[in-house]
Amino acid sequence: MKRVAVLGAGGWGTALAILSVHQGYDTTLWVRRADFCHQLQAERENHPYLPGVVLPEEIRLTSCLREAAYGREAVIVTVPSHAVRKLARDLAAHLSGDTLVISATKGLEVGSCRRMTEIWSEEIGGQERLVAISGPNFAAEVARGLPTATVAASTSLAAAEAAQDLLMTSSLRVYTNPDLIGVELGGALKNIYAIAAGMVDGMELGLNGRAALITRGLAELARLGEALGASPLTFSGLSGLGDLILTCTGHLSRNHQLGEAIGRGLSPAEAWQGRAMVTEGVTTCRSAHDLARRLGVELPIVDQVYAILFEGQSPRQMVENLMGRRPRHEREPVKM
């Protein structure tokens, strides 16, 4: 029996722990707060993050990181991006050298603009055992066993295939990809475009406008990816187009919900208020904005979302600014 730890008891972590148990694995779910861990043990339902889904009794719950990780063949990390570096440092002493580390966190670190596997590599070493997964995967649907697909990316084919073998089920198809940079960028930046798409929907600007924004978002994503060494083909796959479509159109997307609230007239602060779950697109927007400037790559949609979230610009001004840009060739490489 494979021994698996899932680190982070949000909706995605809970869903992956359920998937792991259904595969017959010895599964531990690490819950950061002891009080929340006790609540989950008593109720066997993650009311704040995954309501209506029962936690199987086989899932072992703990708030002790050492207990969760010790002796595990694989750990699946689902904590928010801002918590990854501290978790990696705390976890380093409890991992064996051959433990497979699967990053299911979608985001970029504020300040350093590091991808999640870059953080893990810096803190625990062993690039060859690091895998990132990304794709059109709403936690609630994965937990219910509805069909979907995802991609496991690693610089090591053996590690990617190990993650594929671990996660593949009758309802989750897992593909491998050697383009770790592209897969992680696709998973991270799509949240920014989901906020923008939500604004378009909140302002009731129509399906044409939303489709155009998604398509140009994909072009921006590929442009930044190429500047970092990713393959442009990756962004036509599950962690590019697939994830982008889902988060920009699906009502379960937290980032889309945030953007929609702003598009309807709320300020970003008002739209954030009372949200229990992390909206990764907000912090990722800051990082992507900084990264694009360092690289000299122009990301018009990211710039406009950044101006709304952090500089007080209105969503209507975003539309005017994007529609008023000078004429361009569709495939024109845009540098600042």
SS3 state of residue 75: strand
As beta bridge partners, residue 77 has 7, 103
Distances (CA, A) of 209 to 155, 193, 327: 37, 13, 17
Query: Is 190 known to be catalytic?
Result: yes
Tell me whether strands 148-153 and 50-54 are parallel, antiparallel or unpaired: unpaired
Q: Kindly tell me the number of DSSP H helices and DSSP E strands found in the chain.
A: 15, 10
**Of 2, 86, 106, 190, which one is the catalytic site residue?**
190
Beta strands in the chain (DSSP E): 3-7, 26-30, 45-46, 50-54, 60-62, 74-77, 100-103, 130-134, 148-153, 172-177
Distances (CA, A) of 251 to 12, 15, 170: 16, 18, 25
Give the residue from 65, 95, 67, 97 showing the smallest Cα distance to 79: 65
Catalytic residues: 190
